[in-house]
Amino acid sequence: MPSFLAYVVVGGAAALVTFVCVPIMIRLAPRLGTMVPPSERHVHASPTPTAGGAAMILGVIVAVAVAAVHPEFSGVMEARTEMVGVVVAACVMWSVGFVDDLREISAPAKIAGMVLSGSILSLTGVSILVFRVPFFDLLVLSADWSFFVTVVWVVSIANIVNLIDGLDGLAAGIVAIAAGTFLLYALRLGDEAVLDPANPGGLWAVIALGLCLGFLPHNVYPARIFMGDGGALLLGLLMAASTMSVGGRTSAEFSGQAFFFFAPIFIPLVILGIPILDTLWAILRRTMSRQRLSTADKKHLHHRLMNLGHGHQRAVLILWAWTALLSAMVLYPTYTGDGDGIVPIGILALALGLFSVLHPRLRPVTLPPSEETVVADE
């Protein structure tokens, strides 16, 4: 398995290309027609570019090229079909989102594009092959079931990331934390000889991490550019590819003294707990109100935090902190073998929850007009 330094090189390439290309996309946005004006749905102070995903896809291509010539990734690159499959699927997923950023496309058409991306991954070998259920036996999926579960996983993770992209820096920060956590998790599995040294899961995770780190300086409040659906869907695909490569192929048991560590495919559900919770609540909310699932609203977790009185930046930091705590629940037992570590983490989570709910009521915050109106696109 490549060394940590080798991953830093590839992730650094993704970050550098993204960071350099974002200002170019900002200047090109008016010509490309990717400016989002203030509106009832997209409430921000002035027209803002939403083509950040274009810089990210360039970062993906360059990072994969760097990995291809790096000697420590020679084993990973032997599966060329998988490498090409992820890059092609990433381009398709970004294209679907970018077209939607230019002119809104119908929900069925958007889902069809996501299904196509998931299908490309499955047909090129990036798929969920095994499924270990906690306390039960290992399930080996048939070809048909593997294809179906893979496509559903890709579409789900892509939409989860897209839905949480509602405040400046929110989605990029959460994905950065999640991708970094999953990279460390994959490295740990490699050290324990649970994961094949040629497994590409860590590569896709570090590329996603690099894209976010390169994009965040331009996207934190007040954002100069949004990643748009193109960027959000692209990050979702990379996270799906990473988690499937690690969790969907790991048949050996590995435990960090917590039952869910016997099932690596469930690890992303813990790490991405915040956007998953937000997505499930959105589905339930819209179903109960008999709205279409694609209907946008301002009732997501970040909106609720701001309605409680938290400012834009504080709401983002709270959700980043929640993601970090959930990630710690994965990493601490994995690296120490001490399941009791979950207890103090749980206490910290409870304290953060009380802060999120009670603090604004105990100390009301009056938002300045500019902070009330600057909200990234969903």
Cα atoms in the 13 Å half-sphere on the side-chain side of 9: 15
pLDDT at res. 373: 38
Q: Which of 299, 28, 358, 327 is nearest to 184 (CA)?
A: 327
Phi, psi of 135 (to 5 degrees): 70, 0
DSSP for 289-326, written as a single string? TT--TT---S-SHHHHHHHTT--HHHHHHHHHHHHHHH
Segments of the chain with pLDDT less than 50: 43, 254-262, 363-378
Residue 145, CA distances (Å) to 127, 129, 148, 158 in order: 10, 9, 5, 20
Residue position matching structure tokens 């950065």: 176
Q: Do 242 and 163 touch, CB atoms closer than 8 A?
A: no
Residue position matching structure tokens 């490699």: 190
Residue position matching structure tokens 């969903």: 378
Phi, psi of 196 (to 5 degrees): -60, 135
Task: Report the alpha-carbon distance of residue 241 to residue 89 in Å, rounded.
Answer: 10
Residue 308 neighbours by CB distance under 10 Å: 16
Residue position matching structure tokens 């996983």: 153
Cα atoms in the 13 Å half-sphere on the side-chain side of 1: 22
Kind and range of the H or E run holding 139: strand 138-140
